[in-house]
Structure 1
Amino acid sequence: MKKLLIPFAIAIMLGVVACGGDNQPASAVPPLPAGRWIAGDLHTHTTQSADADVSQTLDKILGKAFISYGLDWMAISNHLRVSTRDEKGATLAAQIPMSIGAERYELPHVQALQAAGTYADKLIFSGFEWDMPTHDHIGIGLFEGADKLGSSTKGMKEFEYLFTTRDVAMFDAADVAAWKAKYGATRYNTTAADALQAINWLKQNYPTTSYAVINHPSRNKNSYTAADFRAMNDAAPDIVFAIEGMVGNQMEPDRGGYTAAYTDDNAALRVYGGVDYVVAKVGGVWDALLGEGRHIWNLTDSDTHFKIVGGNSSGYFPGEYAKNYVFNAATGTPAAKDLLAGLRSGKMFSVYGDLINALDFNLAGRDDRKEMGGELKVASGDKVTITIRFKSPAKNNYEKPVDSGTSANVKPVVDHVDLIAGDVGARAAPGTAAYSAATNASTKVVKRFTSADWKVDADGYYSVTYETTATKNQYFRLRGTNLGTDIAGLTQGGEPLADQRTGTSDNTQRFNDINDRNYRSLWFYSNPVFVTLR
C-alpha cells in the first residue's frame, strides 16, 4: 500500500485518529501493521484418498491451486485411512496407512518440485483429515523443526497408530515396538474420551506446532454439540481454534454435501448461502462461543475430491471458489510458522467466489487499535471508531458453461455488509447448563451498510466508518454478500435462507445449474474484534 498524506479531517473519518471522551485530548492510535494477505486452503484431497477420483493427482491439484487460481499456500489433507494409490493415481501392490503414503509419495514429490524451482515461492505441506471417534472429521497439521518447520511424518504415523483402527501389521515393526513401549498396548479410536485424548496428545507433543480444525460441523446429525466445541477448545485452545464454517463440496447437488432430509426439524443440518448453520445463524453456536470470549475462528476450504466426473459433481478446485485470506507480516515466501501464527491470531477472513480479496476491519479507541482476532481495551463511555475497508477483484472464476474454460467475465459486487455484535460474558464451566448453550441472545446486526454508505478511498478500497460508545464487553464481526436483503429463496430480511437441493435430471444442465446457484449466492465472513472494558 503506498503512503499517503491524509488531511486531519479525513484521518478522523478513516479511524486513523480517534477522539477521546469529554475533556480528553485527541491522541494518535497505532498505524496498521505492514504485511500482506496470503490466500490458501487447509482442506484438499488427492488421488491418495480413496474417495477422491483417480484423476485427482497431486500434480493436478498443485497446478490448479497455484497456477490456475493463484493461492499462496495449501495443505494436502488426505483422509487418515488406508491408501491404495500413489500420488500419480497408480494402484499400489498393497494398501498402506495414509501417513506412510504421505511420507513415501506426497512429501517427496512436493520437495522435488520445489527443489527444482516449481512452486518454490509457495507454502505446501501435508496434513490429514481424521475420522474423529463419535464425531465427524477434523483437519490436523503437525510440524516439527526449529526455525524452518516441516510436516511431521513421524507424528502423523504415531497419530494414525494411536487414534485409528489401522491394522498394526501395516506399520514398521520397530515403530510399533517403540510406540508400545511409550504408551502400552492401549489405542484410542472408539469413544468421545478417545477423541479428547487425541487433542491432548497434540498438546503434549506439538503444543505450538499443530492445529486441529473442525470440518463441516453440521453435515451429519449429532456430530458435535456446543459442549463438544467448548471441551475441545478448553483442552487445547492454541490447537483447536477454528471451525470450517464456510464448507467445501459446493458443487454437490446438496450444497456442501449436506444431505439430511429437507424438513423443518433439520434446519440446523443445512447450509445457508453455503455456510454451515453453526456460523451462518446470527446468535447461534459460533456466537455462543464468541460470547464467552473464546478465540475460535471461522474459515473456509474447498474439500476438493473432484469437480465433475461422469454424472457426478463434488467440489471446486483449491482457490477456485473458496479462499482463506490470512495476514502475513513476514516478507518473502510464506513459512509454516508464519501461517500458523496468522491462523492462530484470527486476523483472517474467508470468502466465496472472490466477492472480496482484501479486508481492513479494525476498531480504534483513544490510544489503541485492534484488528480481527484482537482485543481493544477501553474505558466505559469511550468512543470506538469501527473502520471497514474492502476491495473486490475485476472478475472472479465464474465460468459459463461450467468447467469450460470460458470466463463469464463477471465482476463480483458487494450489495451490503452487516456489522454484527454480541455481548461477552463469563466463560461457562464444564458440567453447567451454560456449557451446553448453543445460542447468544444478545447477538444482532447492529448496522447494515450499502453502497450508499461507503466511498472509494485513495487506495481503491470501499471504505465506511461507524462510531459507537463502549458500555460493555462485546465483539464485532462482519458478514457481506452480493445478494439483496429479500431475494426469493435466498435471503429474507437480510438473513440467508437454507440452500435447497439442485436436482436437475440432465447431468450437464445440473452441473451448470449448481455452478450458477453458487455464483449467484456469494458471501464473506470476517473474524471478530473484541472490546473489553478496563
Structure 2
Amino acid sequence: MLKVFKLITIVVLGLTVLAQGLPATAKETERNFEENTGGRWMKGEYHAHTSQSDDAQSSQTLELLLDNAFDKYDMDWMAVSDHLRMSSRDADGNVIPGGPIPLSQGIIQYQVPKIKQLLSEGKYRNKIIFSGFEWDMPTYEHVGIGIIGEQAGSAISLKAGNQFEYLFTNRDEKMFEPEDAAAWKAQDERAYSTSQDARTALAWLEKNYKETSYAILNHPSRKRVYTIADFRDFNNIAPHVVFGFEGMPGNQMEPDRGGLNLTTPENRTYGGSDYMLAKVGGSWDALLGEGRRFWNFSNSDSHFEISDNRLYSSGYWPGQYSKNYTWVNGSNAQSVLEGMRSGKSFSVFGDLINELDFQAEGMGSKAEMGEELKVKEGQMIKVTMRFKSPKKNNNGDSVQVDHVDLISGEVSGKAVPGTPAYNKDTNDSTKVIKRFTSKDWKTDRNGYNVITYKVKANKNQYFRLRGTNLGLNVPGETKNGEPLIDQKTDIEDNETRFAEINKRNYQDLWFYSNPVFVSVYKK
C-alpha cells in the first residue's frame, strides 16, 4: 500500500520579471513541431529553501539561492518554498528582532522587499520569481503549494498566503492582524489537526484559487504516511490544484539518496527516484491508468549542499543536478503554473538530456505530453521521440543516453471510492513495450536523436518515457533495465563521503517524461 506525506508547498508571491517578446533562440528555431512556436521550454522548480527556513543554513540567503539558480545554473523560473512554520531569520539570514514570526508574515516583511530590491539593482533579468512555502499537511507530510492569486505578487496574493497559514496551521491567532483574523474566522473554521482538515485545506484552494494555485505532493514515499486512496481523494477534491507529485525528490546529496531512509523497499529511492515513479506498474501508473492528469516533477529541495561546519550534506542548488523542463506559453508566473498543469514537461537528473519532443499521431491528429489523442479502433499510431544531450553536465562529465524505454499501460477509468480498486496501488497492464538503444535511433540534421515506433490502437492507453545512462545490468544499479534500490553512502570521513555521494549521483542518471494519452472509439 502506498503511503504518502503531509507536505504541501504554497506559492504566495509571483514577481514576474521575464521580458515580453523575447526573440526565439537557436534551439527553438531548430524545432520542427509547428505547435511549439507559440511558447518555449523553460527550466525551473518549485521546491527550494532559504535562510527563512530554520532547517536551512543561515548562510543560504535568498540572494545566494537565486544567484545559483539563475546565474550559475541557468534556470528560467524559481518558486522559493520555505517551510510554513515559525521563522526566526530574515531573507539575509539575520535573526529577526523580537523573535520568530509566521513565515507568511516573513515573506511579506522580508522576502518580497528583498526580491524587489534585487530586481531594482538589475539582477535576474528575463527571469520569473515567485515565493511559496512548504506546508506540513495535517497527519501527512509536505506539500508544495503556490497561490498566484488574481495577480502574482499582489497584496491579494500575499494576503491569501497569510490567510492559509491562519486557517491551516496551529499558529497562535494573536500572531495575525485582529481585523484579518476576525474576517477569516467569519468565513471559515480553522482546520489543522486531522486528515479531514487536510482535505478541507485542499478544497479551500480549489474553491478560492482553482486556476491560480497548485498543491504538489513532495517526496511522497519518504515517511510512508499516504495510501493510494489518499492520492485519489486529494485529486478528486482539487483536480485543478493537486495535479502532481515530486517523483524525483531533492536532497540527493544525502547519504541515503533523497533522504528516503526507511527500511522497506517502498520507502527508498531507485536511481534517485521515488518508488511510486520508478516502479513500472506501480502507484503512478495506477493513477495514470484511471486517466488522471497527474504529473511528475523534480526539485532540489535545497537547504544547503554541504553544511557550513563541513559535517553534513543535503541537496544540490536549484538546476545544478535536477531540472524540470516545462513548455510555457507566456512570460509570467501564471503562465508557468498553466504549463505545469498542462503536463507538457519532463524531468531530468544530471543533464542527461536537455531537449525532448514526445508525441503520438494518428488519423491526421497528434498529441504531446499531457494531451490526449483520439483515434478509431484498429488505426495505427506513430509514436515519435526526439531528444538531445548536452556535451557536458554541471559536473563536467560527458553524458550519453544508453537506452530509452517506451512504457505503456491501459486506461480503464476512475476507481470508485469504497471499492477495492480505489485502494489498489498497481496497474497490472503497465510494461516496457519497447526498449531503444543507439542502434534504434538516427540523428537528424538538427542534432536530435530520433526514434519512431508504430502500434495499433485497440484500447485506451497511455505512453510515457524513461531513459538512463546505465546499461541493463550494472551491478548495484540496474537489473534487466530496472533501477535498483540506492544504497546508503556511509563513509566516516566527511570530505570523502561528500565526494563519493556526488560521484554516486552522477554515475546514475535518469529522465522521465509525462504521458501521452490515447483514447480509442469504435468505427
TM-score (norm 2): 0.92
* Equivalent residue runs for 1:25-64 within 5 Å: 32-64=36-68
Q: 1:471 and 2:469 equivalent?
A: no
Q: 1:489 to 1:123 in 2, by over 3 A?
A: same
- Rg comparison, structure with higher value: 1
Distance in structure 2 (CA, Å) of the matches to 1:139 and 1:532? 31
1:243 matched residue in structure 2: 245
- Correspondence for 2:483: 496
Q: Could you say which residue in structure 2 is the equivalent of 1:342?
A: 339
The one-letter amino acid paired with 1:315 is G
Which of 201, 205, 209 is equivalent to 1:202? Answer: 205
The offset of 1:329, in angstroms, is 3.0
* Alpha-carbon distance in 2 for matches of 1:239, 1:369: 26
Shift of 1:236: 1.0
Match in the other structure for 2:70: 66
In structure 1, which of residues 183, 188, 193 is the aligned counterpart of residue 191 of structure 2?
A: 188
Partner of 1:354 in structure 2?
351
Which residue in 1 is equivalent to 2:82?
Answer: 78
Distance 2:460 2:383 in 1: 15
Partner of 1:441: 428
Map 1:220-235; keep pairs closer than 5 Å: 220-221=223-224, 223-235=225-237
User: C-alpha separation between the residues in 2 aligned to 1:290 and 1:170?
Assistant: 42
Listed as ranges, the matches of 1:377-392 within 5 Å are 377-392=374-389
| 1:144 match: secondary structure | coil
* Structure 2 residue matching 1:227: 3-state secondary structure: helix
How far the C-alpha of 1:450 sits from its partner, in A, is 0.5
**For 2:61 and 2:119, how far apart are their aligned partners in 1?**
17
Q: Distance in 1 between matches of 2:153 and 2:87?
A: 29
Task: Check whether the contact 1:142–1:151 (CA below 8 A) recurs between aligned residues.
Answer: no
Give the Cα separation in 1 of the matches to 2:159 and 2:443: 51
Of 168, 177, 186 in structure 2, the residue corresponding to residue 172 of structure 1 is: 177
**Residues of 1 paired with 2:31 and 2:145: CA distance?**
45
> Would the alpha carbon gap of residues 44 and 2 (structure 1) be closer, same or farther in structure 2, given more than 3 Å must change?
closer
Number of residue-to-residue matches in the alignment: 492
* 2:397 paired with 1:410: yes
8 Å CA contact retained: 2:222, 2:267 = yes
Taking the aligned partners of 1:151 and 1:512, their CA distance within structure 2 comes to 46
Q: Are residues 1:369 and 2:366 paired?
A: yes
| SS of the residue 1:459 aligns to | coil
Equivalence for 1:301: 299
> Within 5 A, what are the aligned runs for 1:260-271?
260-261=262-263, 266-271=264-269
Classify 1:442/1:33 alpha carbon distance in 2 versus 1 (closer, same or farther; 3 Å): farther
Amino acid at match of 1:207: K
* 8 Å CA contact retained: 2:45, 2:77: yes
Cα distance in 1 for residues equivalent to 2:195 and 2:156: 27
Task: Give the equivalent residue in structure 2 for 1:401.
Answer: none
Selected match of 2:493 from 480, 486, 506:
506
In structure 2, do the counterparts of structure 1 residues 3 and 49 end up closer, same or farther at CA, with 3 Å as the change threshold? closer
Secondary structure, counterpart of 2:148 in structure 1: strand
Q: Give the distance between the partners of 1:394 and 1:175, measured in 2 at CA.
A: 54
Unaligned runs of 5+ in 1: 7-15, 17-29, 399-408
Task: State whether residues 202 and 238 of structure 2, in contact with CA within 8 Å, keep that contact through their aligned partners in structure 1.
Answer: yes
Taking the TM superposition and a 5 Å limit, the aligned residue runs for 1:127-166 are 127-145=132-150, 152-166=157-171
Equivalent-residue separation in structure 2 for 1:254 and 1:320 (angstroms): 19
Structure 1 residue corresponding to 2:276, chosen from 266, 278, 283: 278
1:397 and 2:414 are equivalent in the alignment: no
Do the aligned residues in 2 keep the contact of 1:274 with 1:499 (CA within 8 Å)?
A: yes
Distance 1:31 1:40, change over 3 A: closer
Decide which of 267, 283, 287 is 1:289's aligned counterpart.
287
Of residues 113, 116, 119 in structure 2, which corresponds to 1:114? Answer: 119
Distance change >3 Å, CA 286–CA 54, structure 1 → 2: same
Assess if the C-alpha contact under 8 Å between 2:151 and 2:157 holds in 1: no
Partner of 2:104: 99
Q: Gaps (5+ residues) in structure 2? A: 1-26
Q: Secondary structure at the match of 1:452?
A: helix
What corresponds to 1:11 in structure 2? none
Query: Offset at 1:335?
Result: 0.8
Distance 2:311 2:30 in 1: 54
Deviation, structure 1 residue 164: 0.5
Question: Residues 220-246 of structure 1: CA distance to partner in whole angstroms, max 9, x if unpaired?
Answer: 02x211000100000111110011000
Deviation of 1:122 (Å): 0.6
State the identity as a percent: 54
Structure 2 counterpart SS, 1:66: helix
SS at match of 2:51: coil
* Corresponding position of 2:11: none
Deviation larger for 35-44 or 313-322: 35-44
Q: What amino acid is the match of 1:274?
A: G
Letter in 2 for 1:428: A
Match of 2:12 in 1: none
Looking at structure 2, the residues matched to 467 and 149 of structure 1 have their Cα atoms a distance apart, in angstroms, of: 49
Query: How far is the alpha carbon of 1:112 from its aligned partner?
Result: 2.2
The equivalent residue for 1:13 is none
Distance 1:148 1:87, change over 3 A: closer
Structure 1 residues 431, 149: CA separation in 2 closer, same or farther (over 3 Å shift)?
A: farther
Partner Cα separation in structure 2 for residue 363 and residue 144 of structure 1: 35
Q: Give the Cα–Cα distance (whole angstroms) in 2 for the partners of residues 441 and 145 of structure 1.
A: 43
Distance 2:261 2:152 in 1: 44
Paired residues of 1:148 and 1:337 also in contact (CA < 8 A): no
Structure-1-length-normalised TM-score:
0.90
